[in-house]
Each structure stands twice: as structure tokens, then as C-alpha cells.
Amino acid sequence: MTNQDMRYISTRGEQKSGQSGKPFCDILLEGLAPDGGLAVPAVCPHFDAATLREMSGLGYRDLAFRILSEFIDDIPAVDLRALIDSAYTPETFRSADITPVRTLEPGLHLLQLSNGPTLAFKDVAMQLLGNFFQYVLHKRGETLNILGATSGDTGSAAEYAMRGKHNIRVFMLSPHGKMSPFQRAQMYSLSDANIYNIAVRGVFDDCQDMVKAVSNDLAFKARYHIGSVNSINWARIVAQVVYYFKAYFAVTGAQGGAVSFSVPTGNFGNIFAGYMARRMGLPISRLILATNENNVLDEFFRTGVYRVRASSEVVETSSPSMDISKASNFERYMFDMVGGNGDAVRELWSRLQSSGQFDLAGTPWIERVRNSGIVSGHSTHADRLATIRDVHARHGYIVDTHTADGIKVGLDNREPGIPLICLETALAAKFEHAVQEAIGRAPERPAGYENIENLPQRCEVMESDAEAVKRFIAAASGN
Ligand SMILES: *Cc1c(COP(=O)(O)O)cnc(C)c1O
């Protein structure tokens, strides 16, 4: 690797203007790029086989430092180390390995990403993001009011990552009475002064519309430093690249060789991190993309047609964190497929805007998609229940519905002789209902979560009204 500066460009940027681009800390807080695109590294780092061998024995924090250093050159090394070391502790992730691998049988493994505070994989990225935000805001003497909408996993992961952080407040909108008792307890029992839970009388879409309305009020947004932590944040992607390397080394040891990963997919963030790892030289044979009944991405990888769904077409499933109408990170992947041509991305996305779809058939890009390592499939509610039952019967381990999606599609698409690593994106305890339906009993909860529903809860109940949330933010900010 050369010591070339790491700069980020937009997926909708002008055709390679050469020297342009921003360093990591400038895109960290940015959200969408000013031209409406997403930030991507101008050059993808690459490790050769000898370097991979050297990295293979590193513990999680050392490995994270090694990989993140390739993407971040505007935070001094000692500071970057400290931010990583305090995010990835055995106390926070209840494992010395942070993301341990559990072998179900020879050739079939579970990458356990869900031992963080909210019992879902989003903690891995979010814990580091919280440290990055606090660090950069402190350096710049700025504050940030994070405004988000959640139906579960993202909001709680953000709150647990940002709780108690200086210069940051979190305003999280959730649909009143629509989350599971467990999810509600996780969020509403936080008593930190910088966390504001707002229960909106409406559905998740109403919450999202309120966030959009506030963000579209540019004067308000600027005056109150409104930011977000949504899944397009580049720092979240890069944090997730680390565990693909960690799992690869854990499974292959000194032998090397190829592996495949199966990834329960919604907004394409997690699997895009795997795609980055593959581009960086990690010997990944297949990235197996699993969707549930909301199969917009499975359709694309089978047919070359990307057709976004209307909200009314989105089905409520038993793997709710994958119930999406379009996949926000998919644009980063397409940028790569069209050879880093921002004009081509702009054109595809304007076609998406006008007709709701684009079709890669007959373009030179479809071949790149075929060679990108991603294959796909989808599962149904019955598939998930059968998989939970089967994994429990064979291996004595209970997986959640999202992980079950991944295992089902992973087993359907694996190749003989190539180890399959299935990503565990949430613990079964988070989705008790479906597990109960599958095996006739609820999964055990990790220590400390047994009686979470009995903790005192606190939230602000609000009508579905953007002006009300603006008044609330203004009051909480003290002006
Ligand atoms: C967010 C989430 C997913 C989907 O991940 P993406 O990065 O959006 O593709 C899958 N499973 C669980 C449990 C999640 O919380």
C-alpha cells in the first residue's frame, strides 16, 4: 500500500476531476454529498497475500486499526487507536473476540455479530461511530443534534452508542405502541440526559416523514446542527469491513483458501462491507445475499432489473429489519459496476426517479455484476421457521429470524468444499415471538436482559407533526 492520501468522492460526482475529494472527517458528519450522491473512497486499498498472512493473527482491535488506517488519514494514529480500543471492549461485546465465530459443523460457521448492547449487529459499527462523532465534534467545538426515525434496531443501537456523549443529543422518533415490548424497553429505559425518545402517534412512515420535513427546513437544520446516523454513513460501512477479515482468519487459520459469506440484507450496508473486503483482496468466493419476502435486491441479482417498491408494497415480515422498499447503499455498489462513472450513476438514478426502475440487460455493466461475487436468494416466513427448527435440532443453537434468512439462502447457494460463514445479525432473544412459533419455546435472554421490561421507562408522546418536533428540539437545545 502506498502512502497516497485517502480521499472520498461522490457517487454522482463529475467524471474524475483528479485532485478533488474530501478526507474522512469531512464526510463523517455529512450525510448525503451535496450533489445527492454517497461518499466512496477514490481508491480502494488492497492487501496482497503476504500482508494478509501478517494480519491473520491480529486481535480485533489491532485488526480494526490496521484496516481503518487504510481509510482514515486525518486522525492521528494514537487517537484512532484510542477511539477503536474504547469502542471494542470485551465488556461492551461480552466476548474477548468481539465478533466470535461459532462452528456449527465442519464447513458451516456462524459469525456472531450480535453480542453488543442492543443484541444486533448494528452495535459493531455504531459503537465506533459514537466515538468518531464525539472526537470530531470536540475538535471542532461543535454540537450535533441527531434526529432519526426507527422501527427498532437502528434507533436503539444509535442511542446506546451516543448515550452520555458530550456535544451530542439524540432525538429518536418511534411509532407509538408499534414496537415489541423488548425493543420499547431497550430504548425507553435509557435515562441519559442526552437521549430523547419521542413516541409518535402514527406509523413508522409518519416518523420518517417528520424527519424529512425537519431536514428539508434548511434554516432550522443549520441553526440546530441537525445530523443523522443512517445506514449510508461511510464510517458504518468501513467499521463492518473488519469483521469479514476477522471471520476469514478465524475460519481458515494458517491454511488460507476461499470462503463464502451469507448476509441477511436490507439496506445493502452489511453486504457492501463484504464486497469491499473482497475488493481489498480477501479471498471471498461468494457473497450470498439473502432477502425476505421484500425481494427487491434478490430480483436485481437474478434479473438485472432494479425496481424499487412503493411503501404500500412493502410486506411486514417476521424479519422486520429487512423490510425495505429500496436499498440505500446499493448506489455505492452500482458506482463500482459502472466503473466509477458519476454521470452513469446520475443517469440510472434519474431513470429510477422517473420510472421506478432500471434494467441492466444489454449494458456492459451486467457482466461486472455477474463477476462481483454476489449471488442471491430469498426466504419466506415458513422457510425461516423451518431453518430455526432445523438449526436448533441439529446444532442445539437458536438463531433469530434474520439470521435464519441468511442460513437458508446460504445453504441453497454454497459451493462444495468452500466453508460457509453465516452472519448472525441479531440474537434470537430479540425476536422471541417467531422463535416461540418455530420451536415451541422462547429463547433464553443474555444475562442482564431478563427483566428489561420492568425497568422504569421514559418517553415523550407526540402527534405526527414536524412543527412539534422542531419546538421540542429547540427547547432541549436551550433556545
Ligand atoms: C439492519 C439489519 C439487517 C440488514 O442490514 P443492512 O446493512 O441494512 O443490509 C439485517 N438483520 C438485522 C437484525 C438488522 O438489524
Closest atom, ligand 1, to C-alpha of 426:
13
Q: How confident is the model at residue 324 (pLDDT cuts 50, 70, 90)?
A: confident
Q: How confident is the model at residue 30 (pLDDT cuts 50, 70, 90)?
A: confident
Residue 166's Cβ-side half-sphere holds a number of Cα atoms within 13 Å equal to 8
What mean pLDDT comes out for the span 72-78?
97
The Å distance, Cα 402 to ligand 1 centre, comes to: 8
Ligand 1 in contact with 267 (CB < 6 A)?
Answer: yes
Q: How confident is the model at residue 420 (pLDDT cuts 50, 70, 90)?
A: very high
Q: Does residue 339 belong to any structural domain of this protein?
A: yes
Ligand 1 in contact with 231 (CB < 6 A)?
Answer: yes
The string of pLDDT tens digits covering residues 110-167 is: 999 999 999 999 999 999 999 999 999 999 999 999 999 987 788 999 999 999 998 9
List the CATH number of the domain containing 323.
Answer: 3.40.50.1100
What mean pLDDT comes out for the span 372-378?
98
Q: Which of 420, 478, 374, 466 is closest to 147 using CA atoms?
A: 466
What mean pLDDT comes out for the span 183-206?
93
For the chain, what is the mean pLDDT? Answer: 94
Which residues have a catalytic role annotated?
Answer: 122
Instruction: Give the pTM.
Output: 0.96
Pocket test for ligand 1, best of 322, 376, 403 (most atoms within 8 A of CB): 322
Most confident of 217-226, 251-260, 393-402: 393-402
The Å distance, Cα 318 to ligand 1 centre, comes to: 13
pLDDT for 15 beyond 60: no
Q: How many CB atoms lie within 10 A of CB 342?
A: 20
Closest atom, ligand 1, to C-alpha of 240:
7
Supply the residue whose CA is at minimum distance from atom 14 of ligand 1.
Answer: 321
Closest atom, ligand 1, to C-alpha of 324:
8
Q: Does residue 109 belong to any structural domain of this protein?
A: yes
Q: What is the pLDDT of residue 2?
A: 45
The Å distance, Cα 267 to ligand 1 centre, comes to: 7
Ligand 1 in contact with 21 (CB < 6 A)?
Answer: no
Query: What sign for the dihedral angle of Cα 124, 241, 128, 157?
Result: negative
Q: How many CB atoms lie within 10 A of CB 25?
A: 18
Q: Does residue 305 belong to any structural domain of this protein?
A: yes
Q: Cα–Cα distance between 409 and 401 in angstroms, integer?
A: 12
- Percent of the chain's residues with pLDDT above 90: 85
pLDDT for 1 beyond 60: no
The Å distance, Cα 385 to ligand 1 centre, comes to: 18
Look up the domain containing 363 and give its range: 101-119+236-439
The string of pLDDT tens digits covering residues 447-466 is: 999 999 999 999 999 999 99
Spacing of C-alpha 415 from chain mean position = 26
pLDDT for 175 beyond 60: yes
pLDDT for 228 beyond 90: no
146 close to 169: Cβ distance less than 8 angstroms: yes
Q: What is the pLDDT of residue 19?
A: 52
Closest atom, ligand 1, to C-alpha of 400:
13
What mean pLDDT comes out for the span 18-47?
89
What mean pLDDT comes out for the span 268-289?
98
Q: How confident is the model at residue 16 (pLDDT cuts 50, 70, 90)?
A: low
Q: Does residue 67 belong to any structural domain of this protein?
A: no
Q: Does residue 95 belong to any structural domain of this protein?
A: no
The Å distance, Cα 121 to ligand 1 centre, comes to: 8
Q: What is the pLDDT of residue 45?
A: 97
Q: Which of 131, 136, 128, 172 is closest to 154 using CA atoms?
A: 172
Please state the domain count of the chain: 1
Q: Does residue 252 belong to any structural domain of this protein?
A: yes
Q: Does residue 59 belong to any structural domain of this protein?
A: no
Q: Does residue 136 belong to any structural domain of this protein?
A: no
